[in-house]
């Protein structure tokens, strides 16, 4: 077998993504034939003995993809001497092939809960995590009181954080009652019924981003639950439970899809590059078609958009009264 860079071998073996594998090597946690490895070092995985934290790395092990409903208070890291429980302690051994070491795909804050993916497929994890693939993450946010119009507008405009402008992927929306009840049925402990629930989506992945954004408008988050990663949903998976991902879910996330447009709102569709309008022979934009379309130089009938119910930004009433209406 030809030699490969150590970080690529680790990623192919399912230890971590290639970028995370570089960190493992740089921090001295990887050894090749008993010696500390260096970033970029080339090895033959069939002839060399490779260890991470003293454990041997297997080549060609079976791939595993697991969805976990992480409880609050559990750390997302695989090893933490200060943590009583890590996410690996929650995954049943029946879901993990023999000899397989799972790693979380990204993290959830210790105080946050909800959907967390684990795998031993480093390349797949990289496609889920890397910003260029634009995989969306949707969250249910519970607040002690409804947002005001000014607070909603501030969030939708973006909040200045240390890393830059923190932005939501589309307008924040209030969660309808059925959506909130379905989620509450999966949560342990059960949420306080007086909380006001909202849904937000992110493409950015800064540390404690949502908590800092809501904190900047003097509205601390009481419960933060991740309900979707790309096309994979938390669904009825209860707190602390895990399941194997289905083949279509694995394929869709590995392709870097953004997820359901209906769940993330129109903003997710708008993030793609606009398609250029087809041109006529004279270089002018084409009309809307011959049947029922407008002719060049003539104005078609004016469309009148129906006015929907007021949003939080338009009305002094609490946001929860408007169902799933996007908050402007």
Q: Give residue limits of the domains in the chain.
A: 4-56, 65-269
Q: Does the annotation mark 109 as catalytic?
A: yes
| This prediction's pTM | 0.68
CATH code for the part of the protein at 4-56: 3.10.290.10
Inform me whether the pLDDT recorded for 276 exceeds 50: no
Class of the 65-269 domain?
A: alpha beta
Please tell me the distance from the alpha carbon of residue 76 to that of residue 107, in angstroms, as a whole number: 6
Can you give the length of the chain in residues? Answer: 328
| Residue 322 burial (CB count, 10 A) | 21
Task: Decide whether 4-56 matches 65-269 in CATH topology.
Answer: no
Lowest-confidence pick of 42-46, 52-56, 78-82, 120-124:
78-82
Q: What is the pLDDT of residue 114?
A: 98
Please tell me the distance from the alpha carbon of residue 6 to that of residue 150, in angstroms, as a whole number: 51
Distances from the Cα of 20 to the Cα of 15, 70, 129, 283, angstroms = 9, 21, 11, 50
* Residue pLDDT, tens place only, 185-212: 999 999 999 999 999 999 888 899 999 9
Residue 63 phi, psi (nearest 5) = -85, 145
**At CA 225, angle to CA 202 and CA 262, rounded to 5?**
50
Across the range 110-127, mean pLDDT stands at: 91
Residue in 221, 219, 237 with CA at minimum distance from that of residue 229:
237
Among candidate residues 109, 182, 260, 314, the one labeled active-site is 109
Q: What is the pLDDT of residue 107?
A: 87
* Residue pLDDT, tens place only, 308-326: 433 444 333 333 333 344 4
Residue 134 phi, psi (nearest 5) = 60, 35
Highest mean pLDDT among 12-16, 81-85, 284-288: 12-16
Q: What is the mean pLDDT of the chain?
A: 79
Please tell me the distance from the alpha carbon of residue 249 to that of residue 247, in angstroms, as a whole number: 5
Please tell me the distance from the alpha carbon of residue 140 to that of residue 65, in angstroms, as a whole number: 24
Inform me whether the pLDDT recorded for 128 exceeds 60: yes
List of residues 6+ apart from 179 with CB closer than 8 A: 197, 199, 324
């Amino acid at each position: 077998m030809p030699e490969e860079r150590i970080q690529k071998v680790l990623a192919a073996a399912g230890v971590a993504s290639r970028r995370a594998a570089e960190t493992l090597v740089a921090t001295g946690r990887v050894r090749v034939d008993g010696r500390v490895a260096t970033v970029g070092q080339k090895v033959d995985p069939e002839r060399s003995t490779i260890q991470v934290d003293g454990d041997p790395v297997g080549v060609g092990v079976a791939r595993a993809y697991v969805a976990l409903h992480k409880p609050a208070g559990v750390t997302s890291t695989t090893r933490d001497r200060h943590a009583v429980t890590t996410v690996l302690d929650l995954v049943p051994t029946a879901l993990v092939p023999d000899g397989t070491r799972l790693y979380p795909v990204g993290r959830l804050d210790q105080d946050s809960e909800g959907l967390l993916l684990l795998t031993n497929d480093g390349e797949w994890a990289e496609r889920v995590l890397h910003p260029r693939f634009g995989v969306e993450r949707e969250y249910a946010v519970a607040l002690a009181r409804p947002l005001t119009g000014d607070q909603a507008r501030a969030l939708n405009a973006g909040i200045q954080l240390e890393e830059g402008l923190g932005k939501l992927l589309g307008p924040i929306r209030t969660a309808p009652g059925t959506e909130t009840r379905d989620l509450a049925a999966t949560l342990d402990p059960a949420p306080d019924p007086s909380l006001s629930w909202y849904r937000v989506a992110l493409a950015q992945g800064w540390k404690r981003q949502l908590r800092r954004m809501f904190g900047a408008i003097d509205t601390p988050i009481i419960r933060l639950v991740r309900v979707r990663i790309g096309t994979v949903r938390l669904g009825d998976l209860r707190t602390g439970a895990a399941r194997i991902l289905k083949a279509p879910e694995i394929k869709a996330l590995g392709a870097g899809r953004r997820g359901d447009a209906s769940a993330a709102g129109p903003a997710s569709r708008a993030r793609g590059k606009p398609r250029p309008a087809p041109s006529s022979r004279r270089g002018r934009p084409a009309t809307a078609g011959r049947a029922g379309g407008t002719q060049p130089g003539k104005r078609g009938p004016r469309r009148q958009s129906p006015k929907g119910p007021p949003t939080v930004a338009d009305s002094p009433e609490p946001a929860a009264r408007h169902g799933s209406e996007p908050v402007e």
